[in-house]
């Protein structure tokens, strides 16, 4: 269990904004050395300058987590600069909406590439080193409450986050089979004030939708995500949730107990236990 943070090394993907930047600020506030990775170069450099104001050592590495060689390069840069790594937050994520049957192949390729393969690439690039170090360390994978329930018009995203949670749970079980002080957490945010509603800005040109490939449903749900995100929680709340999860070695970092997201999860579990058809609209009024 990682309980001492001063001077330790944290790596965060999707670090230029939102939850990622908030985690970097929290880690820096604890005296950690921080490696920021993001696909947006200008925003990454600015975020790096902000984190440096905490008086800690900072490294920024432009990284597209969907590309395994770039994540490997991130790991190499981290070790070249700091020799060790103690916290890895596979946090980068994107969103595409619409009905499942309307989603085109590049919607799937883009979202799964970042939200699933990006997590896997982070695990493969960093976990072997953490195991070799044999020191207290922790992996945090940003999943989503959408990895626990299934909302209509968000099928591509839902699938990606269910897969990310499965990866993270499996990693936890596999680490339990070896003698290691490396812990794992699955961060499952609810609605947070982040830039995920503007994910399209970072979509590679070869994966963008054509002018005739969008649908009204896709436009509607993506606009709704942008609007609802503005009323979400401050990303600092997630940074606090992550830090406490690492310090207490807590796996499931979920939305507040008793809230609408928690109730929707309970309804889904009841659907499964009672072998009844899925309850539609279980998340209505979520906040």
Which residues are known catalytic residues? Answer: 157
Distance separating alpha carbons of residues 194 and 156, to the nearest angstrom: 19
Question: For residues 56 and 10, what is the distance between their CA atoms, to the nearest angstrom?
Answer: 11
- In sequence order, the 6+-apart residues with CB closer than 8 A to the CB of 18 are 192, 193, 194, 195, 196, 235
DSSP conformation class of 95: -
Q: Contact at 8 Å (CB) between 1 and 24? A: no
Q: List all residues 6 or more positions away from 29 whose beta carbon is below 8 Å from its beta carbon.
A: 54
Token couple for 28: 């820096």
Q: Where does residue 179 rank: exposed (0-12), middle (13-18), buried (19+ CB within 10 A)?
A: exposed
How long is the chain?
287
Cβ atoms 238, 23 nearer than 8 A: yes
Q: How far is CA 206 from CA 35, 113, 155, 203, 236, in A?
A: 29, 13, 22, 8, 34
Six-digit token string for 68? 């395994």
């Amino acid at each position: 269990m990682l309980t001492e943070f001063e001077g330790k090394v944290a790596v965060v993907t999707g670090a230029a904004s939102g939850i990622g930047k908030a985690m970097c600020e929290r880690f820096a506030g604890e005296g950690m050395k921080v490696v920021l990775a993001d696909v947006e170069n200008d925003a990454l450099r600015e975020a790096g300058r902000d984190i440096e104001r905490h008086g800690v050592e900072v490294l920024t590495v432009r990284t597209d987590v969907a590309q395994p060689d770039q994540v490997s390069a991130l790991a190499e840069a981290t070790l070249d600069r700091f020799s060790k790594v103690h916290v890895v937050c596979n946090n980068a994520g994107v969103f595409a909406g619409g009905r499942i049957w309307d989603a085109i192949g590049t919607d799937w390729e883009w979202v799964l590439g970042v939200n699933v393969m990006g997590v896997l690439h982070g695990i493969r690039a960093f976990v072997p080193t953490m195991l070799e170090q044999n020191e207290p360390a922790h992996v945090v994978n940003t999943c989503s409450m959408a990895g626990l329930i299934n909302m209509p018009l968000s099928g591509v995203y839902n699938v990606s986050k269910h897969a990310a949670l499965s990866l993270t749970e499996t990693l936890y079980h596999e680490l339990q089979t070896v003698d290691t002080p490396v812990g794992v957490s699955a961060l499952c945010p609810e609605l947070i004030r982040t830039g995920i509603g503007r994910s399209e800005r970072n979509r590679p040109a070869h994966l963008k939708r054509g002018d005739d490939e969008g649908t009204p449903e896709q436009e509607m749900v993506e606009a709704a995500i942008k609007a609802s995100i503005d009323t979400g929680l401050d990303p600092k709340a997630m940074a606090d949730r992550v830090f406490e999860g690492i310090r207490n070695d807590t796996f499931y970092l979920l939305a507040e107990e008793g809230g609408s997201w928690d109730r929707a999860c309970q309804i889904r579990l009841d659907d499964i236990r009672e072998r009844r058809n899925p309850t539609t609209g279980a998340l209505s009024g979520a906040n």
